Every structure is written in C-alpha cells, then in structure tokens.
Amino acid sequence: MKIILSLLLVLTMYSPGLGEEHSIIPAKDDLICYFACDDEDAGNAVDSAESGVKAIYSGDSPSLVRGPFGKALRCFGAGDEDVFRYGLNLGKHDFTIAFWVHVARYSGVDFRGEKKKGLVVLGYNPLLFIFLDDSGRITLEMPAADNASMSADTVPPTDRWTHLAFVVDRDSDTGCGIYLNGKKQPMALVNMTPTANYEYNMDTGFMFGRALVGDLDELAVYGKALTEGEVKAMCPDIPEGTTRWLESPVTEADTFPPERKPYRLKQARRNAAQKQRRIIYNDDGVYVRPFETPQKFYRARQQQILDTQVDTVFFNVGATTIFTFDNDVGEIYGEFINMKSPAWAQNVKRGIEGLRKTSDSTAGLALEYCHANDLEFFLSLRMNDIHDSFLPFMRSRFKREHPHYLFGPKSLNYEYPEVRDYIYRILESFCTNFNIDGIELDWWRGPRAFPPSWEGKPLELRHVEMMNNLIRRIRIMTERVGEERGRPILLAARTPMSVEHSLFLGFDLMTWFEEDLLDVLIIGGGYAPMAVVSSVREIADTAHQYGVPVYATISSSGMMSGRPYGSGHESVEAWRGAAMNIWHAGADGIYTFNFCPPERDERFDQLGAPETLKGLDKIYSIDRMIIEAFPPKGRWALVAPDRLPITLEKKGWTQAKLPVGENITANTPAGKTCTARLRLKFTALAEKDRVAVRLNGHELGSAAREPMGWMAWEPDPSLVHKGYNLVEVKLSSQQDVAEMPAIDRLNLTVRY
C-alpha cells in the first residue's frame, strides 16, 4: 500500500504485481516527508515527498526486506537501522505521524534515558517521543512544550502488521487521537494544547526505528491533523493473520544428533590428527589488496608461506554467515558493498567477481594451491563473528531478516535451533563441496554462543547440552562424508585457554575429548601470548591424554602496543620469546592469527621449532592485561594468570613470575656471547623513590634510569633459569605514600 503522491486530495491506484488497491492518501501539499522503504540511494533514504531535507539509513547498508506492501525496513533495536532525517520543522502547525509497524519485541537499549518503553520515533532538539509500550500504553510526548503528551490504552500486537497514526490538533485536545488500523483508540490522556504556541523545530534530527526489533513501512509525516476518514483511507486492507518471526520448520528435535555408527576410518583419522604442524597459518580470508585473478590471489596471501615451517593453512571463509566465495547455504560478500564502503571492501567484491569470471573462487584456489604444495588445508568458520556490528556491509541477509536470532552486538544466539541448524548446514556444505583436510570451529571469533555470556553470567545445563549436540552432529556428519570420499575430515576447534573458561562459555571440552568429538585443539585468542606457560601446559597435558594435539595462538593484534591488554611488543624478538615459551609449555605447534604479511617473513622460518629459535635474540615478558578494560566481546574468555600490573607491597618484596622457555646461556651460538637486560616500568614512582630488585634471589644492585618510567639492569645471564624466574621488587624509599607504585611492564631482552 505504498503512498502515491498527487496534487489531488485523494487518489486510488491499482498496484500491478501486488494485486491490491493503494490507500487513499492526503494531498502532496500536506505531506512533509514520506519514506516508502523500498529502496536506498547510496545509503540515503528516498523521500518521495521530495522535501529537500537529507535523510539516511543510519546503518551503512539498510536491511530492506520483503513485506506485504513491497519492501520494509528491518530494525534491530539498537538504533543502527533507523531512518534518520536531518531535522523536522513542525513550526506551530498541526501534524500527523503515521506508519506501519510489525513488532517482534523492543530492545533494552537506553536512548536518552527512555529505556524499556518501546521508543520507535525520536525527534530532537526539542525532543519528541513516540513509545509503543509505555506501561501498556501508546504515547506521544513533546516534553519541551510544557510536557505535552497523549496516550492511548493499547499497544500494537506482536507478530502482526499494524497501522498507527498520531494526529495532533494543537488548538484542541478533542481533535487529537491515536489510531490503530484506522480506528481511534480510547485515550487515557490528552494534553497537547500547550504546544499551540510553541515553535517545534527539531533541527538536530528525526528518527524512525530506535528500540524496535521488527519492521517499519510507509513512514509519513503530514503538516495537518488528518481527519478520521483520511486515516482510515490509509489502511483499507489490514494484512490478515500473524507472521511470527519465530516460526520455523526447524525444531529442537531436528538438532539432535543421529545415531553414531562405527567409523571405519578411525585409525586413519588418528594418524592424520597426529601429523606435524609446526606452524598453523590462519589466513583470515579478507584480501585488502586486489585479487581479481588467480595470480594476484596467490600473491596476496599464499606464496609467502611456501617452503617455510608452515605445514597447515586454516582458511577463514568470512564472517559466520557471509563468505568470500559462492556456496550452497551461506551468503557471499557483495550485496551490501557499495561506493560508500571502504576501499578494501570494494576490493573484496571486485576480487570475488573477477575470480567468478574464470570459474574460480577464493576457497577453491587456496585449497588447490595448498595441496599442490603439500600443505594441509582446513576451512575455518568464525562461529560468531561480530565485525558486522560496526561494518554493516558484512552483515548477511540471514541476520538482517532474523534480528530475533541475535544478542549483544549482532551475535548469533545458539539457543535457537534455527541458528544451530543453519551453522550445521553451512559446515556440511563445506565438507561435501571441497576436498578439505578438516574444518575449524573458531570459537574465539567470538567466544560466546548464548546471551548470558555477553554479561559474564553462568550458563544453564541446557545451553551446554545444546552445544554438545551441535558438536556431536557435526562430528557424525564429518564421519559420514569422510567415509563417502574414503578419507577422514578432521575437526578442530579454537577455544579459551582452559577447560574451566571454555565450559563457562558452553564449550564442554571434557565431553568433546571423552566422546572423541575433536581431533585438533587451538587455544587462546593470542591477547596475552608472552606468559601463558602454565595455562598451555595444563590444557595440553589434559588434551594429550585423549590423543588431541594442542596449538597455542600468537596474534598480531594481541602483540600490538597502545592497548590496555596484550604484550605491547610488535618486534620479531618478542614473537620468538612467546613461541619459545609455548614450545617449552608442551604445545604441539604455533597458531598465528591476524598475521598475514604481504611478503615472506622470517617468523615463518623460525617459530616452528625450538631448534630454529635457539641462538636468536628474544624478548621474554609478562603480559600486561587489564581484563576489565578488555571489550565484553572476549573478556570472559581471557585466561591470563600472573599478569601485570602488580602493585608493590608497602613492606617487603613483591613477586612477579617471568617465564623463559630456554637455557639462554646453553643456547649461545659458537663464537658469540649472551647478554641479558632486565627492564621494568613502574607507575606512580617518584623521581627520588628507590627500588631494590632481585632475580631468582640475587639482588641486582643499582639500575639505569630510562625515559617514561623505565629502569634497567644487566644481570649475569647465568642467573636466568629455564622455566619460571622470580623477579622480586621492594620499595626502599617512597616520597608519596598515597599511591603505591606498580610494576606496569617487565621485559627480559636476550641478545647474542
């Protein structure tokens, strides 16, 4: 029932394709703005009233979905899919705000202190609110005009299309009304006459959407108080029946795993699981440089790992439900990428289209290239990627059309059987269409599957069983497909770096081990990689009892400086120190993440074995990790014992444990000498404060003061032990007792 503009008072028009009459509507002269939500123009919302005032969809790519009147705007309840008009000047005129709405629910996002009232329309400044569930009422408020408001004793039903009209006669309360499907509702309160002499020019913005989780259509503002007949004419035909978003052919029973049959490739799978993987290279799959030909594609990410210690490639397919290649179940990047998108995103779109011309794909080319060069190849699925929460062009239509499946910042809610079934079918399509060696379930992108995990709250047993059944179902599928092709498909998972933290988030590693559901385990997000010895050793010892190899993550994003977490080291020496500690802790190899250099990098020739790390300069460190400062998206998955900062004790010695994964003197190359430099950075340390430092019980004497609060010592390298080294600090004099200093950084640089 799209409004058709005309200079006539009314117009009836037949709509080809919809088979119904359009609504009779007021004349164009009275229409301030009208958004049919059928199309967008480079992110702009098309105003058919041609008012000349700019309007946009607040998301980079609006979710325009099919509705009963053409297309409709799908809203997610976070204000990121609104129609935003750059102001609305009502002056002193009467007005009417009208729209169709399909309510699923309202979010709890707090917009300007108006939480949990179903805010759907917001104008400012001055403020204007329309609430659809204000304690069981529909309400329009204009607080700047002596708190003028009107309310009706009703709310729009959920799961039905409903037409609403808010008619304001600013000279007469009796002329005001709230209409639902063309019928004026019983009014609980009408106090709109205070607005009569108030110039209501909302010059900052005017928005439709806000807290609504549902659909909007036919958004119109009129510069007059419509009559009851005019309102009725806008909605002569009400869509019948409910259209529940929750309805689905998928039931909980459909997600139960089938009976597991004897697997004749079990020994072959065990053998494959134990193969050497010195370095697993996670290729994150989004190519920021152009790659529209196979040759450019190989140069972008593949050629630099040949003839190195990289034995396995985990190829990231995309962002959980949207990928860089054509596939049977998921979607493909491009639909929501336009000229306003970042240049790298446009490169991805062009690359996909270019490869399609030669019947190639990113995953297909990467697979062929790896197998041709004797590299093991896994497809890696990020199980709950939320890059689309701030890069809307990465948001799939599946998410756009099913916002009720989401929680937090666009995370998929695995409570829904539809979500688990969809992910299962995606993985099944990968296994049946590609001759892969395995698949990875990357739960560190991101480490949450159920809503309580976003707030760090415990899960229920039902959540854990839902996840276990999904893993069982995936495992049985890989066994079936593996037998059909005569070669096993390995199942890998990336989880937090402890059994306890994993279980807290729903990833029941002990059940996965005991039921032989997992072949390869990747641990950690790589955000505290320097001092993870105890965590790696504990989980590796557990997994090895079940024949599952363990690989610890080093992430370039976790090694970056300038963050409230991570090592603060980006140097090659720090990568070497992290890797040597991981090997010393008993891991089976190194897993690199977010590290895709454009050229060959020496780290791929060094990190993959303790032997190739011996005799190389390194930095050993304790991670500085303020867990409270880490974003909620991964905070509850962090495992970072013995981390910095450590506040000094007022009396006595304060201890810090520094892991060193080698005997630094024994590993000195022939003809060279070993030197060690211990550096500590303190916070709140006054210029005249003095500290004493001991290394493994040996006091180091006076320190060299360096800029930015650093102090340095050069201990005898023989004092450094393989394993944990006890660094002790005592404050021997203090100028300001109000704030105790803290060890903020601690590094040991080893050079040969």
Structural domains of the chain ordered from first start: 14-234 (2.60.120.200), 252-618 (3.20.20.80), 646-751 (2.60.120.260)
Instruction: Round to whole Å and give the CA distance between 88 and 441.
Output: 48
Which of the two residues, 512 and 48, has the higher pLDDT score?
512
Predicted confidence at residue 10, as pLDDT, reads: 36
Query: What single letter denotes the amino acid at residue 328?
Result: D
Element (H, E) at 120: strand 119-124
Higher pLDDT, 530 or 60: 530
DSSP 8-state secondary structure symbol assigned to residue 546: T
Give percent above pLDDT 70 in the chain.
Answer: 92
Segment among 187-191, 234-238, 353-357 with least mean pLDDT: 234-238
CA dihedral defined by 51, 57, 62, 67, rounded to 10 degrees?
-50
User: If you average pLDDT over residues 379-394, what whole number do you get?
Assistant: 93
Specify whether the CB–CB gap between 473 and 434 falls below 8 A.
Answer: no
- For residue range 305-334, list pLDDT tens digits in order: 999 999 999 999 999 999 999 999 999 999
- pLDDT at position 734 is 66
Q: How many CA atoms lie within 13 A of 134 on its CB side?
A: 19
Give the pLDDT of residue 562: 58
Residue 463: pLDDT over 50: yes
Find the length of the chain. Answer: 752
Per-residue model confidence as pLDDT tens digits over 158-181: 989 999 999 999 999 999 999 999
pLDDT tops 90 at residue 628: no
Mean pLDDT of 86-98: 96
Contact 145, 126 (CB under 8 A): yes
pLDDT-derived band of residue 633, with 50, 70 and 90 as boundaries?
confident
Q: Is 574 helix (H, G, I), strand (E, B) or coil?
A: helix
Is residue 8 pLDDT above 70, yes or no? no
Beta strands 376-382; 310-316: pairing state? parallel
Residue 661 has pLDDT above 60, yes or no: yes
Phi, psi of 130 (to 5 degrees): -125, 120
Report yes or no: 453 and 506 within 8 Å, Cβ to Cβ.
yes
Query: pLDDT tens for residues 194-209?
Result: 999 899 999 999 999 9
pLDDT at 565: 56
Q: Alpha helix (H) ranges present in 486-508?
A: 499-504
The pLDDT-based confidence of 15 (bands split at 50, 70, 90) is very low
Q: Is the pLDDT of residue 696 over 50?
A: yes
DSSP state of 301: I
Instruction: Output the pLDDT for position 160.
Output: 92
- In this structure, the dihedral spanned by the alpha carbons of residues 341, 344, 346 and 350, taken in order and rounded to 10 degrees, is -170
The residues, any chain, with a CB within 8 Å of residue 224's CB and separated by 6 or more, are 26, 30, 93, 94, 95, 96
**Is the predicted pLDDT of residue 415 greater than 50, yes or no?**
yes
In terms of Cβ atoms closer than 10 Å to its own Cβ (0-12, 13-18, 19+), residue 122 is: buried
Q: Which of 466-475, 510-519, 568-577 has the lowest mean pLDDT?
A: 568-577
Instruction: Give the burial class of 174: count Cβ atoms within 10 A of its Cβ; 0-12 exposed, 13-18 middle, 19 or more buried.
Output: exposed
Q: In angstroms, rounded to a whole number, what is the distance separating the alpha carbons of residues 718 and 728?
A: 17
- Residue 502 pLDDT > 80: yes
For residue 511, the 8-state DSSP code is H
Q: pTM score, two decimals? A: 0.81
CA–CA separation, 124 and 202 (whole Å): 5
Instruction: Look at residue 243 and tell me whether its pLDDT is greater than 80.
Output: no
359-386 pLDDT per residue, tens: 999 999 999 999 999 999 999 999 999 9
**CA 523, CA 50: separation in Å to the nearest integer?**
56
Distance CA 300, CA 344 (A): 13
For 446-475, what is the mean pLDDT? 96
Cα 265–chain centre separation: 36
Cα torsion 709, 715, 719, 723: sign: positive
Count CA atoms closer than 13 A to 159's CA, side-chain side: 8
The per-residue pLDDT for 309 is: 98
Above 60 in pLDDT, residue 60?
no
Q: Inform me whether the pLDDT recorded for 668 exceeds 90.
A: yes
User: Does the pLDDT at position 280 exceed 80?
Assistant: yes
Encode burial over 149-172: b for 16+ CB neighbours within 10 A, e otherwise: bbbbebbbebbbbbbbbbbbbbee
Q: Which of the residue ranges 22-36, 492-506, 715-729 would you say has the lowest mean pLDDT?
A: 22-36
Amino acid 707: pLDDT: 85
